[in-house]
Amino acid sequence: MPSDIDAALALLPAERAGHPAPSDLALRREGMDAAQAAGTWTVDPPPEEVQLGGRRTLIFRPQAPILGRVLHLHGGAFRLGTPEMEGPLATALAARCGVEVIAPQYRLAPEAPFPAGLRDAFAVLRALAELDDGLPLIVSGDSAGGGLAASLTMLAVRAGIPIAGLVLLSPWLDLTVSAPSYAANAATDPMFSRDSAASGAELYLQGLDARHPLASPLFGSVAGFPRTLVSVGSGEVLADDARSFQEKLVAGGVDSELSDIPGMEHVAVVRSLAMPGSTETFERIVHLVHDITVAKSAGLDVTASPPA
């Protein structure tokens, strides 16, 4: 496996020095820190904070025996966000499915541009793979974290790290910010916009080609991908990213499902399980996770076949 891991890492461009966050972004981060300190995302039981692959990571554990693991990457347009934001969803998923949910803190732009965050995610994935305890590993992410999850799966395939499933929630998969849904859904997406996406992509890429397949996985290969759930609200500006990626998965022969829900806002299932569309989305995630953990418990191979 070491040579495969080296080959996977060789697909990434070299890390580059970034620059300080602009004042408006710094203020938004301060607001998120204040919300966290006020207990906005506090859950019971609280997660365990550990160092995994050298990265700060929160682990949300079930009360029952552990049947599998979900490595979840938070959103925030590559420039915001913490694993604490995933607490309500992670706690509900852990309790319902008997899985550990692992939520790492990856480096953010513009201080750490692409590929720093993806390298962090891969370091955590590699540490989980090295546990080698037979538990199935599912990768997931929301918004920018969904893009990272898809890119991470590409690296995992190349590295020979078995992934049993992939969950993409309102994923941002094309950093060219050119999809028609940016204009078509501008009035129905209160959370994200073309301007916000363009700014986030610029801070993250800092001159790198937006079509790099590990920055914009819509332009990458899905060979060897595991069973995948793609979830999006029909009125999101990222709706076309999700639909186009689903078309790519189908064309590549991947066992995949698109959940395209009218009236559901961006990453609703992460924000609140009471929001429109969240319950349906959560149940679809539970169904995929349950199928994988039950199949693994029965001794079945739940990973995708390696690409030819």
DSSP annotation string for 21-76: PPHHHHHHHHHHHHHHHTTTT--SSPPEEEEETTEEEEEE--SSPP-EEEEEE--S
Give the amino acid at 290: H
Side-chain-facing half-sphere of 1: CA atoms under 13 Å:
11
What is the Cα–Cα distance from 282 to 152, expressed in whole angstroms?
22
Contact 93, 99 (CB under 8 A): yes
Rounded (5°) CA angle 225-76-109: 95
> Which DSSP letter does residue 254 get?
-
Which structure tokens are listed for 177? 């910010």
Helices (H) and strands (E) in the chain, counts: 10, 8
Alpha carbon distance, N-terminus to C-terminus of the chain: 18
Strands 99-104 vs 68-73: parallel, antiparallel or unpaired: parallel
Bridge partners of 141, per DSSP, are 73, 168
Q: Which sequence positions are flagged as catalytic?
A: 143, 236, 266
Rounded to whole angstroms, what are the CA distances from 64 to 38, 42, 61, 146, 241?
30, 21, 9, 28, 37
What is the Cα–Cα distance from 213 to 262, expressed in whole angstroms?
29
